[in-house]
Amino acid sequence: MRCKKCGRAAVINMRQYKLALCETHYVGWIQAQTERYIHEYQMFSRDERVLVAVSGGKDSLALWEVLLDLQYQVDGLYIDLGIGGDAGYSDQSLGKIRQFLAGRPTAARLHVIDLEEEYGATITEAARLTRRGKAKPCSVCGLIKRHVMNRVARQGGYDVLATGHNLDDEAAVLFGNTMQWQIGYLARQAPVLPASAEGLARKVKPFCRFHERETAAYALVRGIDYLYEECPYAVGASSIRYKIVLSEMERNSPGTKLQFYLGFLRARKAGAFEGAAETRPEMRPCRMCGQPTTAGDQCAFCRLWETVDARRSSQ
Ligand code: AMP
Ligand code: FES
Ligand code: ZN
Ligand code: ZN
């Protein structure tokens, strides 16, 4: 396979675009497409400060690098959830991020929030004590990550929070929400989620139109060493099953995932889910942390830690 632009050996063939590219042209393509999506969805400008949430995986590290190369003002945030104990999943993730930074002498700054140090328990412990997570802490984890990301963005004076969600992630979430007709969730799934209340950060997903194999190829070409393993608690998650089904469809018919996602965005833009968005309860600041919440005067995050403290002292 030859590069469509220069005829050298191609490193990737993107069947859905009928486009094969060499190393140099592929890196240029990823950068140009990212820039295009940032403009198209009005994500942020070069005057704004961006906080990119990095997990140690390929997508978020690649995103951080592309945004730095494109001269955006971007710092990183890693939330250490304490999964797997010493030298376990969380420690290895942080190790990959530090390694990434060591090899790239830039002005970028990394914020690290250690859950156990700051709030007194790891995610595993918090889920066990609240029994919210039953066997798996994933729902507690989602709640905690959302809150901490928003808190750091707000306190650090960042205008926008970026995550590394790719097309495979977005198509799988869309598939799940459509299977269950979760209209409220569908109304809020988008490349940009505006700050819906004072004290909430705008959330953006600049990689939402890249396939997972495309971000993996970018990381490989650029020598980004990332953590291959998924979170140990993700095993058996429905999103992984949806990804397998969608990838099977993509194999038979290249372009399926993109068509599914872009068709949804068009329907959303045309107002297909407008009614659902309006039925959200009003946001008010939490009396403990000040972050806007729809859950009355105390947010779900503060309630969670109150329960953790109470259960721990009664044990
Ligand atoms: P996931 O939910 O694991 O697929 O991750 C989706 C995105 O959330 C990643 O691309 C990151 O941008 C962000 N993310 C996930 N885990 C963390 C973490 N522990 N710390 C900071 N950001 C994270
Ligand atoms: Fe949160 Fe796995 S990353 S439970
Ligand atoms: Zn080329
Ligand atoms: Zn709160």
Spatial distance between the Cα atoms of 258 and 171, rounded to a whole number of angstroms = 8
CA of 25 from ligand 3 middle (Å) equals 5
Residue-level pLDDT at 134: 60
Question: Please, what are the domains in the chain?
Answer: 45-279 (3.40.50.620)
- Of 166, 79, 167, the closest CA to residue 126 belongs to 79
Pocket test of ligand 1: the residue of 50, 51, 52, 55 to mutate, having most ligand atoms within 8 Å of its CB, is 55
What residues have a C-beta under 5 A from ligand 3, the ion? 3, 5-6, 22, 25
Cβ atoms of residues 172 and 242 within 8 Å: yes
Closest ligand to the CA of 288:
4
- Residue 168 CB less than 6 A away from ligand 1: no
- Residue 313 makes CB contacts below 8 A (sequence gap 6+) with none
Residue-level pLDDT at 135: 59
Question: What is the residue whose two structure tokens read 């070409």?
Answer: 221
Angle at 96 between CA 128 and CA 68, to 5 degrees: 115
For the cut 90, the answer to whether the pLDDT of residue 222 exceeds it is yes
Residue 249 is encoded by which pair of tokens? 């469809």
Residue-level pLDDT at 82: 96
Burial class (CB in 10 A: 0-12, 13-18, 19+), 6: exposed
Spatial distance between the Cα atoms of 88 and 232, rounded to a whole number of angstroms = 10
- Kindly report the protein residue whose alpha carbon is nearest to atom 8 of ligand 1: 163
Spatial distance between the Cα atoms of 82 and 125, rounded to a whole number of angstroms = 9
- Kindly report the protein residue whose alpha carbon is nearest to atom 4 of ligand 2: 138
Spatial distance between the Cα atoms of 160 and 153, rounded to a whole number of angstroms = 7
- Residue 78 CB less than 6 A away from ligand 1: yes
Q: What average pLDDT does the chain have?
A: 93
Q: What percent of the chain has pLDDT over 70?
A: 97
From the centroid of its chain, how far is CA 44? 16
Spatial distance between the Cα atoms of 9 and 26, rounded to a whole number of angstroms = 11
Residue-level pLDDT at 131: 75
Phi, psi of 121 (to 5 degrees): -155, 150
Spatial distance between the Cα atoms of 67 and 61, rounded to a whole number of angstroms = 10
Instruction: Give the DSSP H or E segment for 142.
Output: helix 138-155
- Kindly report the protein residue whose alpha carbon is nearest to atom 2 of ligand 2: 231
Look at phi and psi of residue 144 and say left if phi exceeds 0, alpha if psi is from -120 to 50, else beta. Answer: alpha
Pocket test of ligand 2: the residue of 125, 146, 163, 233 to mutate, having most ligand atoms within 8 Å of its CB, is 233
Average pLDDT over residues 75-89: 94
12-26, 51-65, 183-197: least confidently modelled range: 183-197
Residue-level pLDDT at 277: 65
